[in-house]
């Protein structure tokens, strides 16, 4: 298997995708299929699932000669440190040889002689994680909001507690966080200011989610101008960052907080 990323913006984005994954999972399986690169993992608390999907045409070269998918287990912290060592203008090459199946090779090269080529040999690990079948479910409310603005709101709400309450209707969207120590903060979102908004007729949703997990998800706000959010009662919140087109994306599923009362 031989993969090449020579587009500057895509190389930066590819490295950034792995920058914060260690906050969710220390080890992940990356699937290299004929049609795409796919990654899925669940955090240790089983509160969130994340996916990364990049079709083969996202890469400048994607040579995959195996009949079956190639699955490699890797330490996310090591992978990010390697990708972060890349200098600007360097091409990223990822090579896997089935005859040397316990290693992944990554090369950073450049025509500029002032920038030295770098070569890495990363040990692979065996991870016994089966892919989770995430069922399709019809959302009751969909909204698209500027990702930087949403991240800023989440950071501010986290000051006032660790639970986000989302109230959503045809007329308004309100985000609230509260605690006895710090008080309460409510953010009213004008529906007309959203890039898009749709909700079932007559629907009134009141959902709760962990702000600490949302904070970690919003660390990726720079990878996409907008963030797509799908809400459904008693189901996880689905959060999607599009990475150029609808087939290139990073997706999170965040389980709702359960009211014990």
121-130 LR contacts (CB < 8 Å, sep 24+): 122/74, 122/75, 122/78, 122/79, 122/82, 124/72, 124/73, 124/74, 125/27, 125/73, 125/74, 125/75, 126/73, 127/27, 127/28, 127/29, 127/73, 129/29, 129/41
Enter the CATH code of domain 141-254. Answer: 3.70.10.10
Give the DSSP letter of residue 256.
P
pLDDT tens per residue across span 178-202:
888 888 999 999 998 899 999 999 9
Residue 58, pLDDT score: 96
2-123 folds as DNA Polymerase III; Chain A, domain 2 (3.10.150)
- Given a contact cutoff of 8 angstroms between Cβ atoms, the answer to whether 50 and 63 are in contact is no
- The domain locations on the chain are 2-123, 141-254
What pTM was computed for the model?
A: 0.92
- Average pLDDT, stretch 197-217? 95
What whole-number distance in Å separates Cα of residue 187 and Cα of residue 89? 42
Give me the phi and psi of 96, to 5 degrees please: -130, 130
pLDDT tens per residue across span 143-186:
999 999 999 999 999 999 999 999 999 999 999 998 888 889 99
pLDDT tens per residue across span 17-37:
988 898 898 999 999 999 999
Residue 261, pLDDT score: 44
Task: Indicate the pLDDT class of residue 259, thresholds 50, 70 and 90.
Answer: low
């Amino acid at each position: 298997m031989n993969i090449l990323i020579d587009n500057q913006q895509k190389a930066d984005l590819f490295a950034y995708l792995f920058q914060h994954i260690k906050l969710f999972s220390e080890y992940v399986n990356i699937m290299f299929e004929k049609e795409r690169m796919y990654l899925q993992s669940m955090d240790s608390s089983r509160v969130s699932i994340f996916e990364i999907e990049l079709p083969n045409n996202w890469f400048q070269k994607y040579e995959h000669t195996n009949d079956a998918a190639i699955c490699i287990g890797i330490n996310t912290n090591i992978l990010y440190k390697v990708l972060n060592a890349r200098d600007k203008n360097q091409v990223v090459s990822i090579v896997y040889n089935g005859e040397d199946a316990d290693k992944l090779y990554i090369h950073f090269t450049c025509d500029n002689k002032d920038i030295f080529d770098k070569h890495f040999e990363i040990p692979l690990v065996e991870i016994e994680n089966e892919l989770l079948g995430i069922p399709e479910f019809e959302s009751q409310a969909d909204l698209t909001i500027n990702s930087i603005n949403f991240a800023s709101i989440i950071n501010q709400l986290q000051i006032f507690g660790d639970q986000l309450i989302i109230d959503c209707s045809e007329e308004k969207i309100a985000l609230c966080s509260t605690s006895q120590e710090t008080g309460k903060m409510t953010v009213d979102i004008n529906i007309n200011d959203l890039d898009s908004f749709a909700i079932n007729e007559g629907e009134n949703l009141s959902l709760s989610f962990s702000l600490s997990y949302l904070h970690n998800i919003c660390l990726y706000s720079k990878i996409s101008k907008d963030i797509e959010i799908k809400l459904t009662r008693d189901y996880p919140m689905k959060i999607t960052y599009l990475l150029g087109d609808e087939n290139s994306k990073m997706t999170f599923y965040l389980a709702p907080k359960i009211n014990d009362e």
